[in-house]
């Protein structure tokens, strides 16, 4: 039965933000017929806008639907999400300024652009691009599933909910590019912070305080000792640690996160965000805690969505109808913004590293941008397939599946920033080995979990499949590199130079002048190394 009070407020807030998203094409205007503008917003975002954009990139329906749902169903294990984001930011602080620098100096739009030049391998770049697209699809699916769960909580039929989520996401991504989710992320974060702070104060007061909440949670643990734990048991230590580590290593390899980083206007902005974004970790911890609050409130698992509706059901039960509608709009917007960035990032990979590389090397900038827009629609269709075909008992498994795939690009992308020692063929074999082994583990578990039990000498240790697959990947890459060199397989030529990784170009150099001019006029493309050399000649 439709709750019209909730739906009315939801519709007003959601429509207002949707209009804002379409207007975003006029915000900080640029030529959207250029991929640099449509896909990276001209690389002009400063600290504040990029803080909201990256926050919207990282804290998604994973935070609002998947994490509280897992904590509601399984207890303490679900809190691995808090140390995971804490571990991720030192990685961001150390690695991403270096990636930003080489990408800016050489005009890279995707990580596959970097891999192609660093290891002189179009095949390895293609596999990195395909892996990025593949890993992004379940993540987009998680966002769309989160919107579906939220809309369905108000009594809207499931099919209509999914169609509405798909249509709005597709339209405003196509028209406004990266500017739309950047602008929406600002509104979304304000709304989410407001809802969570109200929820973490208002609802516990109604339930008798946190003492009573933890008492009810402990009683559930006593009645369900095999499936629910309020304190992490030793049998789950390895799963908890590997989930946190695998998620932390994966986070900044995702194409949508790297797209957000490349949209910033300086290396300093990247470092500032690495220092400021941990503020969101507090938000994630509070949202996770609401999974326990839902238990104390007597929320029951949905026949359709299982535990994934814990947070929306809690809000519907405890908030007045009008504020619940506002909260649902905040959650839906919080899923739409990152889904848009994800589809843009996947489209950039397809256009730059597949379409332009293999089908239309001489395509114009307009054709490149048009192709990316179309590809962003196709990616969303692929995401729909994951919702329909992959079990969603725990929505978090969609993100953990993405981790398994994207983490396999770590040797080529992140280690490649520091060394070109690896042989390109060894990296390709290692990446394939990691993808195959990781996927096999998830299939063996029936897509019901991403934690695979490994047996060593009669001892079984459950480990996140992303970590296990990465070990396979690294072993192959490390062992095959000297073998390929020994048998004389060509290593290729590293097109990057030490100067490409330097924080600042030499004052007064052609590169410095071109970069300064680019920052003043978004229509000027980012110079490649060849263009810089021609200018100096």
**Looking at 146-277, which runs of residues are DSSP E strands?**
none
**Cα 14 to Cα 32: distance, rounded to the nearest angstrom:** 25
pLDDT average, residue stretch 355-375:
83
Q: What is the band of 510 on the pLDDT scale with cuts at 50, 70, 90?
A: very low
DSSP state of 308: G
Residues 6+ away with beta carbon under 8 Å from 136: 254, 255, 256, 342, 343, 345, 346, 379, 402
Burial of 115 (0-12, 13-18, 19+ CB in 10 A): buried
**Cα 181 to Cα 24: distance, rounded to the nearest angstrom:** 9
Core vs surface per residue 219-239: b (16+ CB within 10 A) or e = ebbeeeeeebbbeeeeebebb
Does an H or E element contain 135, and which? Answer: helix 122-152
Taking the chain, what is the end-to-end CA distance rounded to the nearest angstrom?
72
Q: pLDDT tens digit string along 294-349?
A: 999 999 888 888 888 899 999 999 999 999 999 998 888 888 878 888 888 888 89
Give the CA distances from residue 162 to residues 70, 144, 383, 387, 506, in Å, rounded to whole numbers and listed in that order: 22, 7, 12, 10, 52
More confident position, 31 or 83: 83
Domain definitions of the chain by residue range: 4-396, 504-537
What is the token pair recorded at 101?
């620098």
What pLDDT is attached to residue 16?
84
CA 359 to chain centre: 28
Residues 6+ away with beta carbon under 8 Å from 15: none
What pLDDT is attached to residue 522?
39
pLDDT average, residue stretch 202-227:
94
**Looking at 258-358, which runs of residues are DSSP E strands?**
none
Considering only the C-alpha atoms of the chain, give the largest distance between any 2 of them, rounded to a whole number of Å: 77
CATH topology for 4-396 is Sodium/glucose cotransporter (1.20.1730)
Q: Nearest Cα to 62, choosing from 81, 90, 83, 88?
A: 81
Give the CA distances from residue 216 to residues 209, 213, 297, 364, 486, in Å, rounded to whole numbers and listed in that order: 11, 5, 9, 62, 64
Q: Nearest Cα to 127, choosing from 343, 418, 119?
A: 119
Q: Nearest Cα to 306, choosing from 511, 450, 152?
A: 152
Q: pLDDT tens digit string along 154-198?
A: 888 766 766 776 677 677 666 666 777 777 778 888 888 899 999
- Looking up tokens 């917003």 gives 41
């Amino acid at each position: 039965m439709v709750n019209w009070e909730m739906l009315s407020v939801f519709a007003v807030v959601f429509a207002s933000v949707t209009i804002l998203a379409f207007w975003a094409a006029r915000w900080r205007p640029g030529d959207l017929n250029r991929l640099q503008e449509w896909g990276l917003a001209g690389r002009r975002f400063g600290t504040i806008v990029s803080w909201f954009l990256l926050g919207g990139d990282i804290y998604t329906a994973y935070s609002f639907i998947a994490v509280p749902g897992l904590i509601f169903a399984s207890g303490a294990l679900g809190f691995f999400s808090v140390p995971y984001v804490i571990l991720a930011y030192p990685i961001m602080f150390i690695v991403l300024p270096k990636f930003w620098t080489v990408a800016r100096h050489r005009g890279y739009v995707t990580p596959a652009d970097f891999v192609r030049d660093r290891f002189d391998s179009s095949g390895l770049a293609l596999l990195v691009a395909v892996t990025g697209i593949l890993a992004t699809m379940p993540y987009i699916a998680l966002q769309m599933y989160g919107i579906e769960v939220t809309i369905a909580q108000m009594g809207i039929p499931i099919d209509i909910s999914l169609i509405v989520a798909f249509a709005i996401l597709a339209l405003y991504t196509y028209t406004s590019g990266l500017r739309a989710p950047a602008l929406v992320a600002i509104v979304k974060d304000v709304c989410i912070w407001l809802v969570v702070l109200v929820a973490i104060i208002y609802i516990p007061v109604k339930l008798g305080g946190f003492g009573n909440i933890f008492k009810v949670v402990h009683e559930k643990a006593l009645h369900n000792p095999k499936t629910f734990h309020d304190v992490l048991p030793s049998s789950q230590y390895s799963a908890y640690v590997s989930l946190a580590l695998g998620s932390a290593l994966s986070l900044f390899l995702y194409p949508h996160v790297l797209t957000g980083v490349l949209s910033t206007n300086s290396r300093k902005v990247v470092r500032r965000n690495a220092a400021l974004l941990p503020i969101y970790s507090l938000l994630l911890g509070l949202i996770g805690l609401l999974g326990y609050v839902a238990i104390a409130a007597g929320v029951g698992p949905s026949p359709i969505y299982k535990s994934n509706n814990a947070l929306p059901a809690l809000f519907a039960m405890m908030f007045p109808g009008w504020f619940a509608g506002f909260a649902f709009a905040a959650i839906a917007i919080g899923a739409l913004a990152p889904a848009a960035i994800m589809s843009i990032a996947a489209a950039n990979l397809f256009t730059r590293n597949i379409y332009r590389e293999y089908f239309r090397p001489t395509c114009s900038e307009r054709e490149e941008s048009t192709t990316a827009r179309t590809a962003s629609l196709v990616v969303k269709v692929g995401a729909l397939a994951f919702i329909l075909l992959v079990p969603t008992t725990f929505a978090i498994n969609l993100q953990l599946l993405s981790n398994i795939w994207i983490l396999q690009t770590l040797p080529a992308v992140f280690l490649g920033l520091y060394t070109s020692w690896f042989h390109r063929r060894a990296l390709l074999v290692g990446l394939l080995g990691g993808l195959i082994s990781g996927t096999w583990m998830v299939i063996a578990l029936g897509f019901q979990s991403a934690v695979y039990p490994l047996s060593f000498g009669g001892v079984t240790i459950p480990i996140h499949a992303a970590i296990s697959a990465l070990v396979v990947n690294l072993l192959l890459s490390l062992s095959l590199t000297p073998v390929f060199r020994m048998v004389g397989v060509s290593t290729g030529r590293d097109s990057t130079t030490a100067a490409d990784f330097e924080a600042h170009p030499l004052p007064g150099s052609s590169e410095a002048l071109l970069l300064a001019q680019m920052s003043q006029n978004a229509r000027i493309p980012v110079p490649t190394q060849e263009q810089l050399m021609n200018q100096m000649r």
